[in-house]
Amino acid sequence: MVIPLIIKDKSKIKEFFRKYGTVLGALIIFIAFSLTTERFLTSSNMLMLLRQMSMLTIIALGFTFVMGAGGFDMSIGSACGLITMLFALTFLGTGSLLLGLTVALACGLLIGLVNGFLAAYIGLPDFIATFAVGSIIYGIKMMLTRGNPIFYPPDMPAVFTFLGQGFVGPIPFPVILMFFFLALAIFVLNKTSLGRRVYAIGGNPTAALYAGINIKKYRLITFLISGLSVAIASIILTSRLGSAQPLAGEEYLLDVIAVVFLSTTMFGEGEPTPSGTFVGALIISMLNNGLTMLNVQYYFQYITKGSVVILAVLLAVAFGQKLRVKF
């Protein structure tokens, strides 16, 4: 009677770590930085941490839709820089904030449309299609600006400045936007037919096809969502910086990929989820924030983040989780 009980207890422990091991890792990282740095746990740093991760989370939520359908998007870093530049050029050229915002959002949707068309309808591998689109985008934005940033005048409309720098009480407005889009993504992926079809396509595209799901259509929709999320984050970023930087957003690519890969290891799902994406963004942002406070060189920060992703995936697989990650 004792042996079966022990086996049963071990299975419960294995199930716990399969579902919550990555979340436990996030807690360990939080405690470690709280003990090793004096400023990490301060309220001002916590708010700064949330504001820093807001744009990363918004982009990663769009990426979650793409990866949930079995896709991949390598163009997000270059797209972010181009969108900020087009917004600045349009606004400064016409004086219309509304037109600038419209062009930025339209650019994000257009990039998503091109990616989705090449990957879903033409049949190019996602990695190749989106990498090529990202390369083209990079060339376009460098051609438009020669690599030079565009600085905004000090009399920018208050509503634009508020998007990236404003507060609602003590809470930065980008943080409020982040939680709004997080709640929206959770609702769409968990409670709507769109979400069910996205996960069905990512889980078994052949079965989804036989079930009558238009795979090409819904994969295209996920790329449109990803492009729109990049556009929204780009607008927030350029507002926060007070300038349009051609290389702004390039660093988001690797971080977003890391975030969504971490998402697949959480809650025993084996697939990216919005809540898992949020925890993944929190882990990456805590590493960026805490290691910077410890004066760790930037190259070691990349090594640490990559190691954390590898460790999380290895542990998830070791505890019996089947990851549904495709390219």
Q: pLDDT for 296-325, tens place per residue?
A: 887 888 888 888 878 777 776 665 556 555
Position 267 pLDDT exceeds 80: no
Q: Is residue 234 a contact partner of residue 246, using CB atoms and an 8 Å limit?
A: no
pLDDT at site 5: 44
pLDDT at site 90: 95
By mean pLDDT, which of 16-20, 80-84, 193-197 is the weakest?
A: 16-20
Position 274 pLDDT exceeds 90: yes
Position 233 pLDDT exceeds 60: yes
- Rounded CA gap, 265 and 324, in Å? 10
Count other C-beta atoms under 10 Å from residue 221's C-beta. 20
What value does the mean pLDDT take over residues 235-249? 89
What value does the mean pLDDT take over residues 283-303? 88
What value does the mean pLDDT take over residues 147-175? 91
Position 326 pLDDT exceeds 90: no
Q: At the topology level of CATH, where does 43-250 sit?
A: ABC transporter involved in vitamin B12 uptake, BtuC (1.10.3470)
Buried/exposed code over 34-59 (b: 16+ C-beta within 10 A; e: otherwise): eeebeebeeeebeeebbbbbbbbbbb
Polymer length in residues for the chain:
327
By mean pLDDT, which of 61-65, 159-163, 164-168, 244-248 is the weakest?
A: 244-248
Position 190 pLDDT exceeds 50: yes
User: Would you list the domain boundaries of the chain?
Assistant: 43-250
Between residues 221 and 308, the one the model is more confident about: 221
pLDDT at site 13: 72
Mean pLDDT of the chain: 88
Question: Bridge partners of 243?
Answer: 151
What value does the mean pLDDT take over residues 119-125? 94
* pTM recorded for the entire structure: 0.91
What value does the mean pLDDT take over residues 115-131? 95
Q: Is residue 53 a contact partner of residue 282, using CB atoms and an 8 Å limit?
A: yes
pLDDT at site 284: 92
pLDDT at site 2: 43
